[in-house]
């Protein structure tokens, strides 16, 4: 996590994001800026479904798509909708530490047992379900996946400004990610 840029003041926001909805997101969430009123969404936030994360933003400011690991692959129609019909031109892709989509194989028994006990599934059906879908949703390391997914989305939507961010559950803050060339 040594590639995280701590946003403690407005000047910490990278120049390319200054005066954009991405900067506004950081100002609202991290810096406590007073909320403005919005009639239309200014950006799309793609983030994990994890219940420990909450955005401090005004009403109507953003579309939010939550998917395990901030993996937008299976939400692309919704992403496209926000850009096309919603007209937003900025996206914050927000991963977080301690993500349960990392190393899913370690959670197989918990997953299977939970479907059996909580949802009433037969054990074999729950195991087959896990084996079918876990490989699709495994993200590997949080930061590496976030950067790969950002690059993929930028290639897919070249006119959209996409900022990779990490949310640390310990302090509930957003951090910009220093990107490296790969």
Average pLDDT over residues 146-150: 95
* pLDDT tens readout for residues 5-37: 999 999 999 999 999 999 999 999 999 999 999
Average pLDDT over residues 121-146: 94
* pLDDT tens readout for residues 64-117: 999 999 999 999 999 999 999 999 999 999 999 999 999 999 999 999 999 999
On whether the CB atoms of residues 86 and 63 are closer than 8 A, the answer is yes
On whether the CB atoms of residues 41 and 86 are closer than 8 A, the answer is yes
Query: What share of the chain has pLDDT > 70, as a percent?
Result: 98
In order of 5, 8, 148, the CA distances from 173 in angstroms are 11, 10, 22
Instruction: Let me know if 175 is exposed, middle or buried by CB neighbors in 10 A (0-12, 13-18, 19+).
Output: buried
pLDDT of res. 181:
65
Query: What share of the chain has pLDDT > 90, as a percent?
Result: 90
Mean pLDDT of the chain: 95
Instruction: For tokens 């640390």, name the residue.
Output: 168
Domains and CATH numbers, the chain: 4-100+140-177 (3.40.1050.10), 103-138 (no CATH)
Residue 179: band (very low, low, confident or very high) from pLDDT cuts 50, 70, 90:
confident
Which token pair is 111?
């997953």
């Amino acid at each position: 996590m040594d590639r995280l840029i701590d946003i403690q003041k407005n000047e910490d926001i990278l120049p390319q994001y200054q005066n954009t909805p991405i900067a506004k997101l950081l100002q609202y969430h991290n810096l406590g800026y007073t909320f403005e009123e919005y009639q239309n969404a200014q950006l799309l936030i793609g983030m994990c479904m994890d219940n420990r994360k909450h955005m401090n933003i005004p009403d109507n400011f953003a579309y939010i798509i939550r998917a395990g690991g901030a993996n937008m692959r299976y939400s692309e129609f919704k992403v496209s909708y926000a850009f096309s019909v919603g007209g937003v031109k900025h996206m914050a892709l927000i991963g977080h530490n301690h993500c349960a989509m990392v190393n899913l194989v370690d959670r197989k028994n918990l997953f299977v047992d939970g479907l059996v006990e909580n949802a009433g599934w037969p054990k074999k059906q729950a195991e087959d379900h896990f084996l079918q879908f876990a490989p699709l949703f495994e993200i590997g390391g949080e930061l590496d996946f976030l950067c790969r997914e950002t690059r993929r989305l930028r290639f897919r939507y070249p006119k959209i400004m996409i900022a990779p961010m990490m949310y640390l559950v310990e302090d509930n803050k957003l951090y910009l990610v220093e990107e490296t060339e790969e």
